[in-house]
Chain A
Amino acid sequence: MSNLLVFVEQREGCVSAVTKEVLSAGAALAKELGVEIHALVLGDKGIGSSSIELTDYGADQIFLAEHPELNVYLGENFASVIVSAIEAGNYRAVMFPATAMGKDLAPRVTAGLDTVMATDVTQVEVIEGGLEITRPIFGGKVLAKMKFTAFPAVISVRPNVFPPEKNSGAGHINKIEVSLPFTEGLSVEIIENLGRQNLDVSEAKSVVSGGRGMKDPDNWKLLEELRDALGPEAALGASRAVVDTGWRPHGEQVGQTGKTIAPKLYFAVGISGAVQHLAGMRTAQTIVAINKDADAPIFGVADYGIVGDAMEILPRLTEIISELNAGE
């Protein structure tokens, strides 16, 4: 019987929101396959305390790899620990969150195991006892369904696609031996951390994006106010046009050469809707377009649209949403 394994992404002892989504997706699959779901946590000594949460999201077995050197993420170290852990078990699939860390790590693990990998998966199904995945290709213009002919299959799961569901698992804790071979010649330091008040656009549930139609970087305060009205799980995004002119940092860019996101709610404000922009946000659940040009292509993919001047619409929209939230 081969089980499923989920890599747990954590920073400073906090399990990332997307890990809960991956675990929930994995737990549902494991149930269907009649196998167990295992969670693998890497970190400094004492990291085990975050495992309680993992049990809440369905983990049957929790594997802890504790070592001071695993305190910061280094692809080389993490991959070597994970490859050994997978080789010691018997897994049909290994799942990672498709985050900066997951995308750095999963291909190294795949190469280490000489197996196969699918990135940014948006659906996993059990078909005739085997796994079949769906993932967007060509910037989301087409969805491809694929199966694997090598195992374990490595899958990275796109954030904000699978809902996190509470699902209690047995949560047996197993400590694994860590021997690190090759940190030499590698060090890492985070120089800029915007902190939690500025959620990354790829992790946000709601995104307020501005384009060239915002006219001036000073007008971003209108978008910030809307973001704040939407609550702590909202973030700002931007089109390439405004990143290229230096109005906004590249970290906020959504699209082909920016981030690919799948929030519940996406506001495109003063954004024309070029294909390269759509490549980054077309999988949003609900898209709202605000544009003064009724023929802007963004209206072709949006669910709701309003034609008008963003500078007039935004303050009112923010006001109505704030009132609504205050009334609850």
Chain B
Amino acid sequence: MEIIVCIKRVPDTEARIRILEGSPEISLEGVKYVTSPYDEFALEAGIRLKEVHESTTVTVLTLGDDEAQENLRNALALGADQASLLRGSTTMDGLATAKVLANEIDEKKPDMVLLGVKAGDDDQQQVGPMVAALLGYKCATNVTNFKVQGSIVTCQRQIENGTEVIELAQPAVITVTKGEFEPRYPSLKGIMAAKKKPLIIKDVEVPESRLVLTGLEYPPERDGIHMVGEGLDGITELVQLLREEAKVL
């Protein structure tokens, strides 16, 4: 089986995000970068397929800058076989990203494409189903677990109020959410092996973003906290405030 896992390099969830004064731009100076958390689940899912299905190859794919090589190497250390960096700029326009990825995926004609359900920076939740639509592959999103039998993929997909089981024929695109695929840590052996695995770099043309940023602001400050007293009086006061001031009871 040929598997492609799409990963994105994003600021760490703990990172402090500052708006550059007077411009709709974000300062990411000094920010630590990681592989987007959901993409780690997708990668784990891919590596586990290798462990159960003979002659399976996992290719990690990213659109990003040179720095993203670090994330690709890390994926190789975890067990991916090869990596491709599509060197180009990322924007919030999910379809622009999806077109670039789909182009590359189409050359490789994999059986499965695994992605995170959303990237940890823009939270757009678009790229997976867009790649599927562009390539005409079947697609399941928000998947917590899946199994492959022959060319049929059986997925558990999380919806409001429950779980759907959905069966799709390969080639299939799956976006992975938190569930069964708790990521592993790289082993020393894995890190050594990764140095010898192929990492290809290609420059790509990314279509211009059709989503234009016009402004950035911090979420409105809350009025500050109202601490109520301890004990029964405090609880009574709290209920009264929720009712009369906040008007939510």
Q: Do A and B come from one complex?
A: yes
Interface CB pairs A-B, < 8 A, 7: A76-B139, A107-B129, A189-B164, A189-B165, A200-B161, A286-B246, A287-B222
Nearest Cβ on chain B to A84's Cβ, whole angstroms: 14
What 10 additional pairs, Cβ within 8 angstroms, besides A149-B212, A306-B235? A100-B160, A117-B124, A149-B211, A191-B156, A206-B248, A265-B248, A279-B13, A304-B246, A307-B227, A324-B243
Cα–Cα, bound, A145→B236 (Å) = 41
User: Is A142 a contact partner of B211 (Cβ separation < 8 A)?
Assistant: no
Given contacts A192-B162, A194-B162, A324-B239, contact A147 B214 (CB under 8 A): yes
User: Is A149 a contact partner of B210 (Cβ separation < 8 A)?
Assistant: yes
Cα–Cα, bound, A147→B248 (Å) = 33
Q: Which of B56-95 contact A (CB under 8 A)?
A: 92-95
Given contacts A75-B141, A194-B162, A286-B246, contact A147 B225 (CB under 8 A): no
Given contacts A111-B130, A143-B218, A206-B248, contact A253 B226 (CB under 8 A): no
User: Is A303 a contact partner of B124 (Cβ separation < 8 A)?
Assistant: no
Residues of B within 8 A of A141 (CB): 16-17, 218-219
Cα–Cα, bound, A100→B177 (Å) = 12
Residue B122 at the A interface, CB < 8 A? yes
Residue A139 at the B interface, CB < 8 A? yes
Residues of B at under 8 Å CB distance from A?
Answer: 11, 13-17, 19, 24, 26, 37-38, 92-95, 98, 120-130, 132-134, 138-139, 141-142, 144, 156-169, 177-179, 210-219, 222-223, 225-228, 230-232, 234-236, 238-239, 241-243, 246, 248-249
User: Is B236 a contact partner of A320 (Cβ separation < 8 A)?
Assistant: yes
Residues of B within 8 A of A176 (CB): none
Checking B159, B216, B238 against A288 with a beta-carbon cut-off of 8 angstroms, the contacting residue is B238
User: Is A253 a contact partner of B13 (Cβ separation < 8 A)?
Assistant: no
Residues of B within 8 A of A132 (CB): 214
Residue on A nearest B222 in the bound complex, by CB:
A303
Given contacts A200-B160, A303-B226, A320-B236, contact A108 B139 (CB under 8 A): yes
Q: Which of A103-144 contact B (CB under 8 A)?
A: 103-108, 110-112, 114-120, 132, 136-144
Residue on A nearest B16 in the bound complex, by CB:
A141
Residues of A at under 8 Å CB distance from B?
Answer: 75-76, 79, 99-101, 103-108, 110-112, 114-120, 132, 136-150, 184-196, 198-200, 202-203, 206, 230, 250-251, 253, 256-258, 260, 264-265, 275-276, 279, 282-283, 285-289, 299-308, 313, 316-317, 320-321, 324
Residue on A nearest B166 in the bound complex, by CB:
A188
Cα–Cα, bound, A305→B238 (Å) = 8
Residues of B within 8 A of A106 (CB): 126
Cα–Cα, bound, A137→B227 (Å) = 30
Cα–Cα, bound, A79→B136 (Å) = 12
User: Is A256 a contact partner of B167 (Cβ separation < 8 A)?
Assistant: no
User: Is A143 a contact partner of B216 (Cβ separation < 8 A)?
Assistant: yes
- Which 6 A-B pairs give the minimum distances between C-beta atoms? A185-B169, A111-B133, A200-B160, A116-B210, A145-B215, A150-B210
Cα–Cα, bound, A179→B93 (Å) = 30
Residue on B nearest A138 in the bound complex, by CB:
B17
User: Is A265 a contact partner of B93 (Cβ separation < 8 A)?
Assistant: no
Residue on B nearest A230 in the bound complex, by CB:
B249
Residues of A within 8 A of B129 (CB): 75, 104-105, 107-108, 111
Cα–Cα, bound, A202→B61 (Å) = 32
Nearest Cβ on chain A to B171's Cβ, whole angstroms: 10
User: Is B239 a contact partner of A321 (Cβ separation < 8 A)?
Assistant: yes
Residue on B nearest A276 in the bound complex, by CB:
B13
User: Is B162 a contact partner of A191 (Cβ separation < 8 A)?
Assistant: yes
Nearest Cβ on chain A to B19's Cβ, whole angstroms: 6
Residues of A within 8 A of B121 (CB): 137-138
Cα–Cα, bound, A190→B142 (Å) = 14
